[in-house]
């Protein structure tokens, strides 16, 4: 019985942590786009992988931000917000 209880507790902690990590990025994706006005055309996006979460940046992504006159693409609006909050934390993750 102790093993089952320990397993259940570990499983619940894993589920909670996974949910919190996912919510950090994607909690606002379905709630509307609160991003700043940025040219959202895909022309000039310099990356194909999201520098925040590592997901694929689709060619037609509406999730973009400007950094040093370069257009960076993201997998979701939450990642744009995280990048804009602290771009230096993520700038080295860009696959140019």
Residue 18 in contact with residue 43, Cβ under 8 Å? no
- Could you tell me which residues come within 8 angstroms of residue 42 by beta carbon, excluding any fewer than 6 positions away? 59, 60, 61, 64, 73
pLDDT at 19: 60
pLDDT at 13: 67
| Segments of the chain with pLDDT less than 50 | 26-38, 40
pLDDT at 60: 87
Instruction: Write the pLDDT tens digit of every residue in 34-45.
Output: 444 445 455 689
pLDDT at 34: 44
pLDDT at 29: 47
Residue 83 in contact with residue 51, Cβ under 8 Å? yes
């Amino acid at each position: 019985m102790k093993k089952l209880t320990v397993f259940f507790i570990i499983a619940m902690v894993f589920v909670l942590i996974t949910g919190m990590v996912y919510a950090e990025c994607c909690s606002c994706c379905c709630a509307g786009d609160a991003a700043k006005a940025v040219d959202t055309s895909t022309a000039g996006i310099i990356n194909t992988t999201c520098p925040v979460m590592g997901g694929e940046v689709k060619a037609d992504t509406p999730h973009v931000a400007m950094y040093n006159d370069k257009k960076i693409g993201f997998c979701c609006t939450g990642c744009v917000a995280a990048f804009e909050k602290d771009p230096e934390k993520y700038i080295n993750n860009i696959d140019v």
